[in-house]
């Protein structure tokens, strides 16, 4: 396989990967409407009716913890964000 074919395959892979990331981001945004744990549990119960192979991605997004807020401290250094020691 020459270089041109490899470049075409790489570009095709990148297009597919970008589309998949966009789809996952949109899915996470739409599933974010289920804010309470009860709503998420109801949705997971609904997903239990379908095979795991079909609902794996949805479950991964639902089980992912919410993004934490920005930390007040940098634990590794023992300093707060402004650089002061406690």
How do residues 37-46 score in pLDDT, each as one tens digit?
Answer: 888 889 999 9
Q: Mind listing the pLDDT tens digit for each residue in 38-84?
A: 888 899 999 999 999 999 999 988 887 665 555 555 555 555 555 55
Tell whether the torsion through CA atoms of 33, 35, 41 and 42 is positive or negative.
Answer: negative
- Point out the least confidently predicted range of 17-21, 30-34, 42-46: 30-34
**Residues sharing a CB contact under 8 Å with residue 59, sequence separation 6 or more, in sequence order:** 44, 47, 52
Mean pLDDT calculated for residue range 2-16: 95
């Amino acid at each position: 396989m020459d270089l041109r074919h490899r470049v075409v395959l790489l570009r095709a892979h990148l297009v597919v990967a970008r589309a998949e990331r966009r789809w996952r981001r949109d899915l996470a945004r739409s599933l974010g409407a289920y804010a309470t744990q009860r709503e998420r549990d109801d949705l997971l119960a609904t997903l239990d009716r379908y095979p795991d192979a079909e609902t794996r991605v949805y479950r991964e997004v639902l089980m992912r913890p919410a993004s934490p807020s920005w930390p007040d401290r940098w634990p590794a250094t023992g300093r707060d964000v402004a650089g002061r020691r406690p």
